[in-house]
């Protein structure tokens, strides 16, 4: 069976940045399960998986535009510290939930000054090329219920 739209796929992956530093990996653990074509993974990785077979291992470079997108300086802004007393202990690198016109998003505290907390709404990997090492550990057809819900059910997936 080959990976195609609406296949349930399980992968072992290692993600490195352009310096070769491991950013994330599940190698040696449970595979990451997802439904191909549902936008769970970055677009460049879904494209690279299409048509692959069980047990295949490969490396793929995903350009920033097909990964977490280009870095958008407009998504970085300062908040007056006086307006967010609950963030008195904010430190660079902290992840926060923020509400805005687009709904709730996760932002990173980029910098803390005496008067401002600078938050960055870009994904930490935005603007960076991604280097994946992939091993395809599982492929099967998604059930009708999984497709209706948009995610994998059962062992290693989502439970209701």
Each residue of 1-45: pLDDT tens digit?
Answer: 999 999 999 999 999 999 999 999 999 999 999 999 999 999 999
> Which burial class, exposed, middle or buried, applies to 154 when counting CB atoms under 10 A from its CB (0-12, 13-18, 19+)?
exposed
Res 157: pLDDT: 61
Question: Does the pLDDT of residue 159 top 60, yes or no?
Answer: no
CATH code of 74-120, in short, is: 2.40.10.330
Going by C-alpha positions, the residue among 84, 137, 138, 134 that lies closest to residue 112 is 84
Average pLDDT of 78-95? 92
CATH code of 7-68+126-149, in short, is: 3.10.50.40
Q: Any idea where the domains of the chain sit in the sequence?
A: 7-68+126-149, 74-120
Mean of per-residue pLDDT scores for the chain: 92
| Residue 1: count of CB within 10 angstroms of its CB | 9
pLDDT in tens, 45-73: 999 999 999 999 999 999 999 999 999 99
Lowest mean pLDDT among 15-29, 87-101, 109-123, 132-146: 87-101
């Amino acid at each position: 069976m080959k990976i195609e739209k609406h296949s349930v796929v399980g992968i072992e992956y290692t993600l490195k940045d352009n310096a070769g530093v491991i950013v994330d990996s599940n190698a040696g653990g449970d595979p990451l399960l997802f439904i191909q074509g549902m936008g769970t993974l970055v677009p460049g990785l879904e494209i690279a998986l299409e048509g692959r077979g069980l047990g295949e291992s490969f490396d793929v470079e995903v350009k920033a535009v097909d990964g977490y997108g280009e870095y958008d300086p407009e998504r970085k802004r300062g908040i007056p510290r006086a307006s967010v007393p609950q963030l008195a202990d904010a430190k660079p690198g902290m992840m926060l939930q923020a509400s805005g016109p687009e709904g709730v998003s996760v932002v990173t505290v980029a910098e803390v000054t005496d008067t401002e907390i600078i938050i960055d709404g870009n994904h930490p990997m935005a603007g960076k090329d991604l280097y994946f090492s992939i091993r395809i550990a599982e492929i099967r057809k998604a059930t009708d219920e999984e497709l209706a819900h948009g995610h994998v059910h059962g062992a290693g997936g989502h439970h209701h």
